[in-house]
Copies of this chain bind each other. A is one copy, B any other.
Amino acid sequence: MSQINIRTLAKELGISPGTVSKALKDSHEISADTKERVLALAKKLNYVPNIYASSLRKKRSKTIAVVLPEVADSFFSLAINGIESVAQKKGYHVLIYLTHENFIKEQEILNDFKNGRVDGVLISVTSETKHAQHINELQSSGVRVVMFDRVFENIQIAKVGTNDFESGLLATEHLTACGCKRIAYLSISKNLSITNQRMEGYKNALEENNLSASFSQILHCKNDEAYNYKALKKMMQSHNRPDGILASVEKLIITVYTVCRELNVRIPQDVKVVGFSNLASAGILNPSVTTIAQPAFEIGEAAALLLFKSLEKTGFNLNEKSINLPSKLVVRDSAKQ
């Protein structure tokens, strides 16, 4: 007996092979009646699905995943919009997974993708993530990966980010130009390349302005608002408190403003503040806050475009790609000359 396949079933039933395939997969597009006829014949003819073929064939889920620490941040919500604008044109679904800065959760999520649930992944790692083994393993299973914003510098994975070093430098130079002599830097993680790069820019600007010898204060904040609040309060109550603050992530701006208000430390008179942020409310804070505004939408868009290029083009060397889109300084009341 020759091998029974989907075409045999389709011919016998007088319907298309596509309909048979969908009926076997219990697709909602197929009527219950047709499904029953297909299944009955499959059973009668002892139809064996070609498991080899289906497991070897390139499966496409038409879905990509975005893995993020959180969404309560204007950078990430704008980046998602950039990603979705591309995916929509390509007819792909976008699934958003939140890690809540938990490295174990990030590993579990990526591990789950190995089953072919998604074709590609755009990831911005947690502040706890120290290595890329889980990403490399996912790539080995055939899933394409692009890192964005929170990327790894020295490994071969496609990355899309911004000029963090230059932004840290620019923001700090702006604070020195405003007359600040004692500038503090608020970091969110010792692991993340982006905050470390911003910090290197900060350190460089201090050196260039001969300020580093007399004052340099780096506060390593955590994913813990109460801790950050307490640590910052202590810093702002110290004898030699800073007269300039560079906050490396958006949520630390709110901490800085809240602490200063509580201690009656006036912004910008007593301390000038610059923060990395794309907050829609930046202009209506009290006072309006000077920011490094990142091209968040464009970063998401570029990362998605890279991913789709790699899904569409064979031989495209995704891992070698690296895109850098510049941020800009937006001067408002919290730090201006």
Contact = CB atoms under 8 A, between A and B. Distances in A.
Interface of A: 24, 26-28, 35, 39, 42-43, 46-49, 51-52, 55, 70-72, 74, 76-78, 80-81, 84, 93-98, 100, 109, 112, 114-116, 141, 251, 254, 257-258, 261, 279-281, 283-288
A80 B72 CA distance: 10
27 contacts: A24-B51, A26-B51, A28-B114, A42-B51, A43-B48, A43-B51, A46-B46, A47-B48, A48-B48, A49-B49, A71-B96, A72-B77, A72-B280, A93-B109, A94-B97, A95-B96, A95-B97, A254-B280, A254-B284, A257-B281, A257-B284, A261-B284, A284-B285, A284-B286, A285-B285, A286-B286, A286-B287
Given A71-B72, A95-B96, A254-B280, 16 more contacts: A26-B55, A43-B48, A47-B48, A70-B77, A71-B71, A71-B80, A72-B74, A72-B77, A72-B78, A72-B280, A94-B97, A95-B95, A96-B96, A258-B284, A281-B281, A286-B288
A271 B264 CA distance: 27
Max chain B C-beta neighbours (<10 A), residue from A257, A280, A281: A281
Nearest to A35: B55
Contacts of A42: 48, 51
Contacts of A95: 95-97
A231 B91 CA distance: 35
Contacts of A46: 46, 48
A254 to B, nearest CB: 5
A301 to B, nearest CB: 15
Given A28-B115, A47-B48, A285 B286 contact: yes
A100 B78 contact: no
A279 B251 CA distance: 12
A26 B78 CA distance: 37
